Amino acid sequence: MAQSNGKLEHSVKIPEIKFTKLFINGEFVNSISGKTFETIDPRTEQVLAQVAEGDKEDVDLAVKAARHAFDEGPWPRLPGAERRRIMLKFADLVDENAEELAAIDTMDAGNLYSFAKGQYIHGAANQIRYYAGAADKIHGETLKMSREFQGYTLMEPIGVVGLITPWNFPSTMFAIKVGPALAAGCTVVVKPAEQTPLSALYYAHLAKRAGVPDGVINIVTGYGSTAGAAISSHMDIDLVSFTGSTVTGHRIMQAAATSNLKSVCLELGGKSPFIIFKDADVDKIVPLALIGCLYNQGQICVAGSRIFVQEEIYDKFLSKLEEHVKNWVVGDPFEPNVHQGPQVDKKQYDKVLSYIELGKKQGATLFSGGEALDRKGYYIEPTIFTDVTDDMAIATDEIFGPVMSVMKFKTVEEVIRRANSTKYGLAAGVMTNDLNIANTVSRSIKAGTIWINCYFAFDDDLPIGGYKMSGFGKDMGMDALQKYLKTKSIATPIYNSPWL
């Protein structure tokens, strides 16, 4: 691992934090209790801003505004083309403010600034555009009923939606949930993660400028056990779309079951296998494997953190990995040459370090890294373990940090069995030029996304979501739009009939 040189990107403008209050019914307001909480800059461990701490009463107000906007307001009733026009304007405003939004997420979440400014914020704008394009193409089907009836379906917006998001990519999370909900004609109450509340408030301000009517987007910043729990148990919310940990997913489903039986979509954790077969080009695959595991400090749900390497190329893979990891730069995410910034907060930092200790204790070999950096901020070395067995905690648990487990395998059947021996099923990477192996493995792995000879090949049109305990209900692609809609069936006799 290399340390960064300390020179920030010369064009960086550190923005003033303008939006720190709840956004309810089109206005920025204090929480009813007047309480605030600190959001911390993980680069410096300093307080970045004091943010309004929403609780149950604030969620009630936000839901009331969203309910009124849904039942009485224009948004669900607008022609789809008009929703599209407003959403396209919203997306343009996101692009225009990309530098500021990128800096906010870099300071709040530790996302790499060059990536955020160059791709990730524009990616959020494009997600909104993708769903804007769908807003006037939502229609049902004409049915062929068995008797002499005409039958058809209407696709109606599901209603008031609670959107609860994690901290790893605050802008992407906002766009991939709010985009399809708006296109469908829903109204929303968003609860961003308490670690990264700032950009969601900025997006709400831009949406208002674009012409999204008051009450359609509401943001309640605050903690999961209070504001989040109030959303998942609310009697007047029709759907909760959640991204976060499997533990919280259980709680949200329980709350939905014991309140109003609202629909629930859960995008949860993962422990994805990255499988490298003996015919793969090791020189090309090693950098991909590193990024696939360490990207965003390893804080990505689809991180390929279990690397399975076929025994014929195992030694070569390790020696190339050693070369590449030496040039992996850890440092301030505002610096342009940096590959890895800080973990999002002290809690995650401690959690990752404790897994590294557990890996050593359980007998894995520490191949590289393994320590925190001796500097301010939540920086951890990229850490690679070898001689990892499938039952070790570093191989079974989602660490959500820069920790890679490398394992050796012999046969196709063996690696399929071992790749599937996890409670998760979010993604997998399959590196081979052998078509038969690629086809067999991709159909045998129980995961929602399989990347063959690539990794993180995200696309607006590619649905992402889990199998098994990684959850259900997709984000992204046209699949995501479906969860914000419900089907109404309508039947009428074609002419006077005995059923009239």
Active site residues: 267, 301
Please give the structure tokens belonging to residue 220.
Answer: 């309640």
Q: Smaller CB distance to ligand NAD: residue 383 or 470?
A: 470
Q: Smaller CB distance to ligand NAD: residue 54 or 331?
A: 54
Q: How far is the CB of 367 from ligand NAD (least distance, A)?
A: 24
Cα angle: 198, vertex 204, 209; to 5 degrees? 130
Q: How far is the CB of 395 from ligand NAD (least distance, A)?
A: 16
Q: Smaller CB distance to ligand NAD: residue 193 or 289?
A: 193
R_g of the chain computed on alpha carbons: 24
Q: Residue 3: which H helix or E strand, with range? A: strand 2-3
CA 316 to chain centre: 34
Q: Smaller CB distance to ligand NAD: residue 76 or 471?
A: 471
* Rounded-to-integer distance, Cα 221 and Cα 206, Å: 17
Give the C-alpha distances (Å, rounded to integers) separating 219 from 128, 165, 203: 17, 11, 10
CA 256 to chain centre: 21
Q: How far is the CB of 72 from ligand NAD (least distance, A)?
A: 28
Cβ–Cβ < 8 Å for 160, 238:
yes
Cβ–Cβ < 8 Å for 282, 317:
yes
Closest residue by beta carbon to ligand NAD:
224
142-144 vs 149-157, strand pairing mode: antiparallel
Cβ–Cβ < 8 Å for 36, 52:
yes
Positions in the binding site for ligand NAD (CB under 6 A): 164-168, 191, 193-194, 223-225, 228-229, 232, 243-245, 248, 251-252, 267-270, 301, 398, 400, 426, 464, 466, 470-471, 475
Cα angle: 18, vertex 22, 26; to 5 degrees? 90
* Rounded-to-integer distance, Cα 41 and Cα 376, Å: 11
Q: Smaller CB distance to ligand NAD: residue 106 or 343?
A: 343
Q: How far is the CB of 411 from ligand NAD (least distance, A)?
A: 30
- Residues 6+ positions from 474 with CB-CB distance below 8 Å: 448, 463, 464, 465, 480, 483
Phi/psi of residue 421, nearest 5 degrees: -85, 65
Strand order across the 383-386 sheet: 365-368, 383-386, 403-409, 306-310, 273-276, 427-431, 449-452
